[in-house]
Amino acid sequence: MLSASDLKKGLKIEIDGEPWIITEFEFCKPGKGTALYRCKLKNLINNTTMDRTYRPGDKFDKPDLREREMYYSYPEGVFFVFSDAETYEEMRIGKEVLGRSAYFLIEDSLCSVLLFNGQPLEVTLPIFIEKEIAETEPGARGDTATNVLKPARIDNGYEIQVPIFINTGDLVKIDTRTGEYAERVKKA
């Protein structure tokens, strides 16, 4: 059990059987009366948010959250198959859990999977991945003084904005947290 005095930003608590993370936290001690703990909470299952105020005597349960290191194996219909790094046990994770991260999956890449009561909530990918540009317009020469960007597609159809000097077939590094171009990679 956790008490209200344990609350802080980033702490995960269980409310009504669901895991929540504290995204903002404020301690308030008015001149009279008891202290108050104001929190902004985000539901880890459906991403809804709420504001709550707690008193010092309030108690909370710790959610049953576990992180497992897993390798991405292959797509299977609407699911993506991951295998545990230690036991090689397979787990199928739906696209609704992965969201935009599904575009950045690379076979045999090590990912961190957050589980709540055995069900996957979130998949954390490596921060940077390398993908080849499958389609983009040819770059114009000469306009190098400004950060001019153009659209480009990677092999799975995801569109990113890249500098004008990037061409079809170039290898680029993409930040999986933002889904944006990071830098061009020299081919070996």
Average pLDDT, the chain: 89
**Cα 18 to the chain's mean position, in Å?**
19
How far, in Å, CA of 150 to CA of 181, rounded?
A: 11
- Position 186 scores a pLDDT of 84
The domain segmentation of the chain, as residue ranges, is: 2-60, 65-124, 128-185
Strands 128-136 and 149-154: antiparallel
CATH class (in words) of the domain with range 65-124 = mainly beta
CATH: 2.30.30.100, 3.30.540.10, 3.40.50.720, 2.40.50.140. Which one for 128-185?
A: 2.40.50.140
SS3 of 137, please?
coil
How much is the pTM? 0.77
Residues of the chain with pLDDT under 50: none
Q: Which fold has domain 2-60?
A: SH3 type barrels. (2.30.30)
Among residues 2, 27, 12, which one has the least CA distance to residue 121? Answer: 12
